[in-house]
Structure 1
Amino acid sequence: MVTGQSFMMFVVLLCTCAFAFLNGFRDASNSVAVAVRNRALTPTYAVLVAALFTFAGTMLSTSFGVYLVSAVELNVPTGIPGLALLLSALLASGAWALLCWWRGLPVSSTHSLIAALAGASGASALLGNDGVHDAWRMLAGGVLLPLVFTPVFAFAVSYALVIPVTWLVRHSTASDVNGVSRAGQAIAACAVALGNGLQDGQRTGAFLTLALVTAGAAEPGSIMLGPQLLGASCLAAGVLFGGWRIAHTLAYRLVNMDPLRGMVAQSVSAAMLFLGAMLIHLPISTTQAVTSSIVGAGTNQRFESVTWRHVNRILRHWVATPMVCALVGGILYLAMHPLVS
């Protein structure tokens, strides 16, 4: 006989898989947009390679620790109240991600999910119930710190790295530079997809595990192969379908850049994702790293190549993401509470 808690767990798992698919669908553009624009990869081959490396990165991520599990696993209320928190967060962040995708705006799925979970926890505390303990510390460490650090660092490093790279190729012909840069950009695109799996993939598997722990179907602290494999498959499937709306924004609306600067931008993005996952265990947003690196590398040119109107629009949505998702997550939990209490 299916109990209410079992049904709730199934709904949360299903929504987590749908969110992972949406995450991959939107983030496919991060690794392939500029590479396709500069003809380093064909669209079909780019999406296939991105899906493969995203899947591989997700499966490898268990070797480097799982941020979301370590942050909230032991602090989410057990049973239906905890599952309601998770469901509210998934629905709020998923709705915001869909809206931004439709408008061609690259925003962070990770930031939206953590912010929505913090907002739902705040609503639970407002009702006098248990929420996610240290939710605001989770919001500060998982959203606000990376929101400031990632764009500034990616922009600055990409801008600065263009200088020595262009100096090294100053005596080469344009065709030689473009040929080598396209090859390097193809490799860097694969590295970004791998880093995306290490970052977003680990949190997908963590959220699936978190749902099982909250429902009492798994032990706290466990890292299970099944949820990780399921999360990797959903994320890779989303990449295969590829959301080209955001790809068009990244490749054509923000910056007019050559293959050399595209290679620099992709390389910096990949390095940040690897360092964030393996060394400092900071949830780096793939979207923000790639977008900021593209703008940084594209800014360092002799002619004005950046469409700052589009850049400012994206920045406003990055700032709005935690506020909107926290608010919507809280509202959804308040609406859901009479049904699950």
Structure 2
Amino acid sequence: MDTVLAMVIAVVVIALVFDYTNGFHDAANAIATSVSTRALTPRVALAMAAILNFVGALLGVEVAKTIQGIIDIDGVTSISDADRAHALTIVLAALIGAITWNLITWYFGIPSSSSHALIGGIVGAGVASSTTVSWDTLVEKVAIPMVLSPLIGFLGAFALMTAIMWGFRKANPHKVSRGFRHAQTVSAAGMSLGHGLQDAQKTMGVIVLALVAGGFHDGDGVPLWVIVAAASAIAAGTYSGGWRIMRTLGRRIIDLDPPRGFAAEGVAATVLYVMAIGLHAPVSTTHTITSAIMGAGATKRISAVRWGVARGIVTAWIVTIPAAAAVAAITYFIGRLFLP
């Protein structure tokens, strides 16, 4: 039992490390547009994002339950310590796969999805261990929303920015820009809240999987200490910043102005709330805001969007799940060498 307890503690700590990396990896999602348009200074924006990430993480646990349902960890857990250690190895491998991909994409400044890295890690470890994977949940709650959320983000931001351009066509451009710069404080806050609501819950789901695997929880609900710990870790990671990715989102895709920044953030935040609260789907904040930035930018002119950069980002999106899955599978097989 001591070995199992030690493994549970190790997995919980590593899960919180993932949550921290999620924070600094995805901090740019909420604030890049506001910083690039000078609506907020970087440090103020990061502080606001950190606080609202924490608050957002306390607003629900339905996404966490969806993450728990991707694999049937109960199916490999029994009263045997050896079986529990095996189940915990699966969860540990999933986390290492996700963290590894997060660090690679952070190093190269690529705004990939921490959410899909985690999901890829869970699936990769599940398949490698012959654990039952709920493919229906994966399709309905992950694959379909994964395609829909960036599509809605692009079209929604394009439509909203078109409406803004038409509605303010006769207004003084300087006054419009100044007004939307102030409005971006609200839209950036909405993005930060949505990021906490979405991404911190994914770590909660993994920690509950580890507790179930170790025999310390029945899987019904999320303990309060797990919620607070995950919220704190993502908030701390957010405050540490993600400057490399912020430059990609804020400047390399398109040179944003305040109205376009507001349109992108407002639409992306709305998509995050609807997916989390309405559909309980763990969608990617990265995919959503990046697509919304492209949609808002395309209203200037199609060529204003640097499609070469965008193409590289989309390629990273496609590669994320299989890459994280592959690392998780390899980690699982290595871990099994050290278990009886």
TM-score when normalising by structure 2: 0.94
| 1:156–1:8 Cα change, 3 Å | same
Uncovered stretches (5+) of structure 1, i.e. residues with no partner: 126-130
From 104, 107, 114, the equivalent of 1:99 is 104
User: Which residue matches 2:125?
Assistant: 120
How far has the Cα of 1:142 moved from its partner? 4.4
Give the 3-state SS of the residue equivalent to 1:107 in structure 2: coil
Cα distance in 2 for residues equivalent to 1:245 and 1:168: 35
Question: CA separation in 2, counterparts of 1:51 and 1:242?
Answer: 9
1:64 and 1:317 map into 2 onto residues whose CA distance is 23
- Is the contact between residue 36 and residue 42 of structure 1 (CA under 8 Å) also seen in structure 2? yes
- State whether structure 2 residue 335 is matched by structure 1 residue 330: no
Q: Give the aligned partner of residue 147 of structure 1.
A: 146
In the TM superposition, what whole-angstrom CA distance separates every residue of 1:169-226 from its partner, at most 9, and x where no partner exists? 1121011111111111110101001001111111122222221121111222132100
Contact 2:142 2:283 in 1 (8 A): no
- The one-letter code sitting in structure 2 at the alignment partner of 1:22 is T
Name which of structure 1's ranges 153-162 and 227-236 shifts more when overlaid on structure 2.
153-162
Q: Partner amino acid for 1:115?
A: G
Partner of 2:306: 307
Q: How does 1:131-210 map to 2 (within 5 A)?
A: 131=131, 133-210=132-209
Choose 233-242 or 319-328, whichever is displaced more: 319-328
- Report the Cα offset of residue 64 of structure 1: 7.6
SS at match of 2:208: helix
CA distance in 1, matches of 2:135, 2:99: 21
Contact 1:73 1:221 in 2 (8 A): no
Distance 1:73 1:155, change over 3 A: same
CA contact (8 A) 1:73 1:220 kept: no
Q: Which residue number corresponds to residue 223 of structure 1?
A: 222
Q: Which moved more, 1:282-291 or 1:138-147?
A: 138-147
Structure 2 Cα separation of the partners of residues 85 and 49 of structure 1: 36
1:272 aligns with 2:271: yes
Structure 1 pair 122–146 and aligned structure 2 pair: CA distance change class (3 A): same
CA deviation after TM superposition for structure 1 residue 234, in Å: 0.4
How much has 1:163 moved relative to structure 2?
A: 1.3
Any idea what SS the aligned residue of 1:304 has?
helix
Identity over aligned pairs, percent: 34
Matched AA of 2:293: I
Q: What letter matches 2:231 in structure 1? A: A
On the 8 A contact 1:204/1:228 being kept in 2, the answer is: no
Q: 1:38 corresponds to which letter in structure 2?
A: T
TM-score (normalizing by structure 1): 0.93
- Go from structure 1 to structure 2 and tell me whether the alpha carbon gap of 1:303 and 1:114 turns closer, same or farther (over 3 Å shift): closer
Q: Distance in 1 between matches of 2:339 and 2:163?
A: 59
| Alpha-carbon distance change, 35 to 45 in structure 1, aligned in 2, over 3 angstroms | same
CA deviations over 1:266-317 (Å, ceiling 9, x no partner):
0000000110111111112101101000011101114731111110001001
Q: Number of aligned pairs?
A: 334
* Alpha-carbon distance between aligned partners in 1 of 2:93 and 2:63, rounded to the nearest angstrom: 28
Q: Counterparts of 1:84 and 1:142 in 2: how far apart (Å)?
A: 25
| Matched-pair contact (CA < 8 Å) for 1:26–1:243 | yes
CA contact (8 A) 1:257 1:305 kept: no
* Structure-1 separation of matches of 2:95 and 2:175: 47
Amino acid at match of 2:269: A
In structure 2, stretches of 5+ residues that fail to align are 78-83
Deviation at 1:12, TM superposition (A): 0.5
Residue 65 of structure 1: how far off its partner (Å): 6.8
Matched AA of 2:122: L
8 A contact 2:126–2:133 mirrored in 1? no
C-alpha distance in structure 2 between counterparts of 1:75 and 1:288, whole Å: 32
Is 1:295 aligned to residue 294 of structure 2?
yes
Per the alignment, residue 339 of structure 1 pairs with 338
Judged with a 3 Å threshold, the aligned counterparts in structure 2 of structure 1 residues 248 and 205 are, in CA distance, closer, same or farther, namely same
Provide the residue aligned with 1:21 in structure 2: 20
